[in-house]
Structure 1
Amino acid sequence: MKNYEHSITVKVTPKRIFNALTKEMSNWWTEMTASVDKIGDKTTAKFEDGTTWSFEVITLEANKTLELFCYQADHIHPVTTPEMRTEWENTTLRFEIIDKGKHTDVHFTHVGLTPEVNCYDICHSGWDHFFGAAFKSYLQKQIA
């Protein structure tokens, strides 16, 4: 089925966006255990509720593409079912940065997050907030 996708447009450089994705995720998503600089680097997203998602960089093209493969997931949420806890495992976060000159588009796909997945509604809302709103706002504040 169709993966979760969302695009934003911002008036910042591709380099600025790439840095926000590889070095500053803790500033707009959640606490990350490490920044990522090269293929094979690993980092874990840690949430206050105990949720953790561990990622490995599988694609990294400076100022253009970042793909993070989720190799470990422990999704804890007030409405999480046992099936939901590991649903992010073997999914990929793909960020594509497209330079349009005066602005830059960022296309995000969570490959594997489809309507058939139990956590789809929760995660869809979460990504709309964190990527669609918080990330965009974070980037725009940097230029103000």
Structure 2
Amino acid sequence: MKTQDFSVAITVDDAPEKVFNAINNVRGWWSQEINGNTDKLGETWRYHYKDVHAVTMKITEIVPDKRVVWNVLENHFNFTNDQTEWVNSNVIFDISEKDGKTEMRLTHQGLVPGQECYDICSNAWTGYITGSLRDLITKGQGAPNPKEN
């Protein structure tokens, strides 16, 4: 049986360059609680949301206006027993032009049905991509998690 990696896509009227730049502005659409550079090949950065989720990502591929790949080095959820979920998975952003529009597809390679976090994580990714990232691209303002006190 083939595993089904989670995937979600959006289509916008904006140029691939604008979509690419928005993806790399992780503080602008995912969270303001990011430590490290999120836009350079080989960089490692860390995200956390309260005591619920913490993840360390390494940027393993950047192809301007086409693709960004993050590899998950470390991950912690406070709601799963299996703390290895996400570890060594890849978060892939593919950008392509179709019919005069730009499609951006996020595939979380390794996030599959049956994992403890699948429902929560797939819903969260869908919300961030179809809401906050889309708004950052199309309106210039996303809705990232705010900086914690």
TM-score tier, shorter chain, comes to: 0.7 to 0.9
| Alignment match of 2:138 (pick from 131, 135, 140) | 140
Residue 64 of structure 1 corresponds to 66
1 CA distance for matches of 2:38 and 2:133? 17
Gaps of 5+ in 1: none
- What is the aligned partner in structure 1 of residue 10 from structure 2? 8
Cα displacement (A) at 1:50: 4.7
Q: Deviations over 1:22-57 (max 9, x none)?
A: 2x1112111221233332111111213352111111
> Gaps spanning 5+ residues in structure 2: where?
142-149
Whole-Å separation in 2 of the counterparts to 1:94 and 1:81:
23
* Alpha-carbon offset, residue 101 of structure 1: 6.4
Paired with 2:98 and 2:36, the residues of 1 have a C-alpha distance of 30
**Equivalence for 2:55:** 53
Shift in Å, 1:110:
0.2
Q: Does the Cα contact within 8 Å between 2:35 and 2:45 map onto a contact in 1?
A: yes
Work out whether 1:19 is the aligned partner of 2:18. no
Within-5 A mapping of 1:48-127: 48-76=50-78, 80-83=79-82, 85-100=83-98, 102-127=100-125
- Superposed CA offset, 1:59-106 (max 9, x none): 110111000000100122xxx1321x3311111000001123632100
- Do the aligned residues in 2 keep the contact of 1:69 with 1:92 (CA within 8 Å)? yes
TM-superposed deviation, 1:121: 0.6
Q: Structure 1 runs of 4+ off > 3 angstroms?
A: none
In 2, the alpha carbon distance for the partners of 1:52 and 1:41 equals 17
User: What SS does structure 2 have at the residue aligned with 1:18?
Assistant: helix
Deviation at 1:13, TM superposition (A): 1.4
For residues 50 and 138 of structure 2, the distance between their equivalents in structure 1, rounded to whole angstroms, comes to: 26
Secondary structure of the 1:90 match is coil
Equivalent pair of 1:75/1:86 in contact (CA under 8 Å): no
Percent identical pairs in the alignment equals 26
Aligned length: 138
Root mean square deviation, CA, Å: 1.7
